[in-house]
Amino acid sequence: MPSTSTPSLSRLQRIIFSPSLWLVIAMLLSGVLLHYSAQLRTLPVPGQGESQLTRHSTERVLLILPIGYAAFALGPGVGLVVLIVAFFIMLPRVLFLSPSPADALTETIAVTLVGGLTIWLAWIRRAQEVLREKATVRLQAINAVSAVLTGSLELRRMLGEALNAVLEVTGLEAGVIFVLDEKDADLALAAHRGLPPGLVTDQRGLRLARTLVTDQALTSQIAVPLKSKGRLQGAIVVGSSTAHRSLEEETDLLTAIASEIGVATENARLHWNVTRQLERERRLSELSEGITSELELDRVLSKVVQIAEGLVDADAGVIALLDKRRDVIRYPYLHRLTENLLQVTVARGEGCAGQVIASGEATIIEDYAAYPGRVQEFVDGGVKSLLAVPIVTGDRVFGALGVIALKDKRSFSDRDVTVVSGVARQAAVAIENARLYESMRSYAKQILTAQEVERKRMARELHDDTAQALVALSRQLDALLSDDDHTPGSLRPRMEELRQLTAQISRDVRRFSQDLRPSTLDDLGLLPTLEGLCSRLSEEDDVRALLEVVGDRCRLTPEIELVLFRIAQEALNNVRKHSGATEVLTRVEFTDGVVRITVSDNGRGFTVPDRPGELVDTGKLGLTGMLERAHLAGGTLTVRSQPGEGTTVIAEIPVECRQERV
């Protein structure tokens, strides 16, 4: 609070320069002139000849006027001074002049008592005014702080501005505000002013709080807890480095302000919690979306670890999976942990993960180094505290998801357990989906492999048996036709037809055999086989088919060559059967780690469905097969087409070259 000496001085000046004071002085002088007119002989004496006592009695009563006027107009203090002056005005007459001194004394005392009563009334009125003024000042101070508190929901900014306002209204020079963290486990320094530079070494910490409040900057201090609905939120300490006597009103005012700050702190905290909850929901929704759109387990689970970690403000994360085949627990997904842990395995049922997997329940370990089931590699990796929850769907437990504190030991709340369990459920769905997808892919691969084996067998049989038989038949027909002695002339035309038919069937069988599985693919590789396909399309179907190769040619694995060949074969079949194209370009590009085949025609084109699933519905089974083959090889297939604008099919497959040049 500001010093009281300055207002007292200004009040005295106000009184001295007030016309009321001079009016009071004039009244007193009038009293003196009236009361002692006979002795002064300067004024005509009213009521000469009347009883002197009666006249002086009236004059004494009149002296109450300046006392009352001074007390009300200039304050009780001045009224008291005037009372004393009036008393001394009356006293000489009582002592020396009055013919009835006893009566005069009685009247003088009565006038003094009435004057005193008047002053007391003025004093009461004055006290009420002071109380009103104080209440107004207090309200103004509270309003000033309230205005600051309602201006923002950002806790530190709000408390910083509130502290400024508090220091301004209290006139003190230094202050700090501490707030409790969410779990009542620490105090954060939310705002500070007027402390020596270098004293504030951190933004949180109990020791820091204890150090700051005992600093010399706060030698004289008022400290009040911040509360909202009876719950502690923190504390405010204001003070000065010099001696300062705290008044009760100051403490009351600060208590009222602290209550406002406590409520505002809780509101800001609630706002922050709502914001954080929304952020959590957004991230969980993002995770769900990621899980439903992503079937690559590695990517999903890496994301799961990071999201769980972020949601509970942990330092690191890990997923432990149960390897049923080896009956051990592995840690294949780590975030911000040393990669050595990837090699660690523990027996089923051991370690925190083992316990969580066995019990199916969340576990919190606040001091991991002291945990009996600790895994030494994790202790060495700096794990201080841990929350682990099971990754489970239905009655199947896949593993455990753990979030970790590395810097300091910490506890995890029930809300942390709920949030991480929610993420773990999503992880379980991801694992289940990925496993189903892997089974499906494996099944599809097996079907395609079986199909290819069967095709190869059929192609070989057609080539080795049927085609050879047809060649033999054709040779025999040739022989018969050239045997003039034994072949009747009437049969020759029909035999000639038969020979031509046999030759045609032989060509068809060879072509069918080539389509089923060209032997050049196994013998010479992808590019010569594609050249053969293009040549045949040009020769037999009147479509100008070109093959272009870009980049360093190389031989690929038989599986990849087969996939690329089947995709190109299907695309060229579509050109031949459906497109009505006159030209088709097959371009093979060898780039770093990827082979891209692009088949573009100038045919009639078609409307490409939005989703791959619609290809089956619209009967485009050939395209579906190409897509499946590309996916099974870990690649992609893109189809671009519009009615009237031709079609382009692009397949990209990740590869490793087996030899540099072919």
Partner 1 sequence: MDVETAIETEIGPLLIDTFGLSVGRCLVTLATLSYITAGGGETQRYRAFVDSICSDERVVRKWGANGAARQAKEWKDLVPLEPETVVLVGQHFS
Footprint on this chain of partner 1 (rule: CB under 8 A): 178, 180-181, 183-187, 206-207, 209-210, 213-214, 221, 223-225, 232, 234-235, 237, 366-367, 385, 409-411
CB of 74 to partner 1, least distance (A): 41
CB of 442 to partner 1, least distance (A): 47
Alpha-helical segments (H) within 230-350: 248-293, 297-311
CB of 639 to partner 1, least distance (A): 58
Q: How far apart are the C-alpha atoms of 420 and 414, rounded to whole Å? A: 10
CB of 348 to partner 1, least distance (A): 29
CB of 411 to partner 1, least distance (A): 3
The neighbouring-strand residues paired with 49 are none
CB of 352 to partner 1, least distance (A): 16
CB of 165 to partner 1, least distance (A): 20
Residue 71 or 352: the one with the smaller Cβ distance to partner 1 is 352
Q: How far apart are the C-alpha atoms of 154 and 504, rounded to whole Å? A: 87
Using CB atoms within 10 A of its CB, is residue 115 exposed (0-12), middle (13-18) or buried (19+)? buried
CB of 408 to partner 1, least distance (A): 10
Residue 251 or 500: the one with the smaller Cβ distance to partner 1 is 251
Residue 184 or 523: the one with the smaller Cβ distance to partner 1 is 184
DSSP string, 543-590: -EEEEEEES---B--HHHHHHHHHHHHHHHHHIIIII--SEEEEEEEE
Per-residue DSSP letter, 618: T
Q: How far apart are the C-alpha atoms of 335 and 495, rounded to whole Å? A: 80
The CA-atom distances, in angstroms, between 164 and each of 158, 266, 539, 662 are 10, 20, 91, 80
Q: How far apart are the C-alpha atoms of 176 and 194, rounded to whole Å? A: 9
Q: How far apart are the C-alpha atoms of 428 and 400, rounded to whole Å? A: 10
Q: How far apart are the C-alpha atoms of 63 and 88, rounded to whole Å? A: 11
Pairing of strands 647-654, 363-365: unpaired
Q: How far apart are the C-alpha atoms of 141 and 401, rounded to whole Å? A: 52
Q: How far apart are the C-alpha atoms of 138 and 337, rounded to whole Å? A: 56
Please check whether residue 60 is in contact with residue 87, taking contact to mean a CB–CB distance below 8 angstroms: no
CB of 102 to partner 1, least distance (A): 55
Residue 138 or 204: the one with the smaller Cβ distance to partner 1 is 204
Residue 115 or 234: the one with the smaller Cβ distance to partner 1 is 234
Residue 366 or 452: the one with the smaller Cβ distance to partner 1 is 366
Residue 367 or 552: the one with the smaller Cβ distance to partner 1 is 367
CB of 107 to partner 1, least distance (A): 56
Please check whether residue 600 is in contact with residue 534, taking contact to mean a CB–CB distance below 8 angstroms: no
CB of 359 to partner 1, least distance (A): 20
Residue 181 or 465: the one with the smaller Cβ distance to partner 1 is 181
Residue 121 or 213: the one with the smaller Cβ distance to partner 1 is 213
Angle value at C-alpha 174, between 170 and 180, nearest 5 degrees: 100
Show the tokens assigned to 569: 């074969």
Closest among 365, 415, 416, 427 to 390, alpha carbons compared: 427
Q: How far apart are the C-alpha atoms of 488 and 453, rounded to whole Å? A: 47
CB of 337 to partner 1, least distance (A): 21
Residue 181 or 380: the one with the smaller Cβ distance to partner 1 is 181
Backbone angles phi, psi at 192, to 5 degrees: -155, 145
* CB within 8 Å of 618: residues ≥ 6 apart: 609
CB of 176 to partner 1, least distance (A): 9
CB of 273 to partner 1, least distance (A): 18
CB of 212 to partner 1, least distance (A): 8
For the chain, give the longest Cα–Cα distance. Answer: 199
CB of 314 to partner 1, least distance (A): 15
Please check whether residue 88 is in contact with residue 28, taking contact to mean a CB–CB distance below 8 angstroms: no
Share of the chain residues as helix, strand and coil, in percent rounded to the nearest 5: 60, 15, 25
- Token pair 């945990």 in the structure block, residue: 371
Residue 24 or 209: the one with the smaller Cβ distance to partner 1 is 209
Cβ neighbours, 10 Å, residue 169: 21
Show the tokens assigned to 34: 């009236």
Show the tokens assigned to 654: 């990740």
Residue 234 or 402: the one with the smaller Cβ distance to partner 1 is 234
Residue length of the chain: 662
Residue 234 or 390: the one with the smaller Cβ distance to partner 1 is 234
Residue 232 or 453: the one with the smaller Cβ distance to partner 1 is 232
Residue 127 or 232: the one with the smaller Cβ distance to partner 1 is 232
Residue 58 or 411: the one with the smaller Cβ distance to partner 1 is 411
- Token pair 């949180």 in the structure block, residue: 204
Q: How far apart are the C-alpha atoms of 389 and 487, rounded to whole Å? A: 91
Q: How far apart are the C-alpha atoms of 212 and 217, rounded to whole Å? A: 9
